[in-house]
Amino acid sequence: MRVKPSILVSLVAALLATPVLADVSHVSPSALGYDVAEPNAPEITQQNLLASERFWPYRVTLVEAWQPPGQKKPLRKGDAGVLVRIEKSGVARIDFGGEGVIDTPVGRTDLLQNANRIRTGQLDKMAPNFLMAIGPRLMDSREESPRGMSADDLLPYQGYLCVFADVNAGGFDELARALTPLNGLRGVATVLFPQSRSGDAAISKRLRALEWKVPFVFDYLSEGYTDSLVGAHPALPMILLQTSEGRVVFQGRWQPSLTSEIRAKLDQAFGTPVGLH
């Protein structure tokens, strides 16, 4: 049976596999060296929201009932979800758990209110949104026995190159070889979202054999997170380059000619390399 996880599951409840990340919800941002409060920054509005990603809240709540187009039933006032990102169009992509991933008008949520509370320091933000959502569900393939990633592993990164691919598909070796030099470039980590039920141990072994020792999402959760980030049944392999808050820098179907374009996007969006690996 297909498992569709909700990003709504809290860090505390989610994380037997990565106790360091589970502890994130019990400490202050400053204890992690992460504090984005900036009271003198301009007020967050619909107009500057896309450019103010450091203040994006992790959770959002509907402030009024709403019938999303194409949905069978309306969402209720008070329904809560996890913010996946703000799209370039200005709508909020929100994972409402069992209700699905829905592009939602910002004005129907408390998003702007809470973004301003984060800006002024009235509301804590524990870590970048993508780390909060996906970090506790990442395996480290660098060692023979896969282990969960820790907050120390992930907090330094300013972006993520997300790769949605089947490790057993033809062309995967070529993809891995092409993308290996990009892992850690400009402070951007590569993360694999495996698209086949191969098992975590087998995926880790495959990555190590290719010397592409990147983090990967738990195999049984990957399909659900793929739905959240790029939609159901994406054209595989798929590449998503995003910031640590989830703002999309580049998205497209993988082909070898993309390597130079992705590198250029990394240079443009993430500035001076910080040499993280």
Instruction: Tell me, rounded to whole angstroms, the distance of Cα 162 from its chain centroid.
Output: 8
Residue-by-residue pLDDT tens, the chain, 277 positions: 333 444 333 333 333 232 223 333 334 444 455 789 999 999 999 999 999 999 999 999 999 999 999 888 899 999 999 999 999 999 999 999 999 999 999 999 999 999 999 999 999 998 999 999 998 899 999 988 878 887 678 888 999 999 999 999 999 999 999 999 999 999 999 999 999 888 999 999 999 999 999 999 999 999 999 999 999 889 999 999 999 999 999 999 999 999 999 999 999 999 864 444 3
Amino acid at 12: V
Q: Which domains does the chain have, with CATH numbers?
A: 35-120 (2.30.30.40), 129-270 (3.40.30.10)
CA distances from 19 to 116, 138, 182, 218 (A): 30, 12, 29, 15
Match 């495996």 to its residue by tokens.
Answer: 194
Task: Determine the pLDDT at residue 31.
Answer: 43
| Nearest one of 34, 22, 23 to 157, comparing CA atoms | 34
Task: Determine the pLDDT at residue 32.
Answer: 52
CA distances from 32 to 22, 139, 245, 248, 258 (A): 13, 21, 17, 25, 36
Q: Is 143 exposed, middle or buried (0-12, 13-18, 19+ CB in 10 A)?
A: exposed
Kind plus residue range of the DSSP H or E element containing 123: none
Task: Determine the pLDDT at residue 33.
Answer: 57
Residue 202 CB neighbours (<10 A): 15
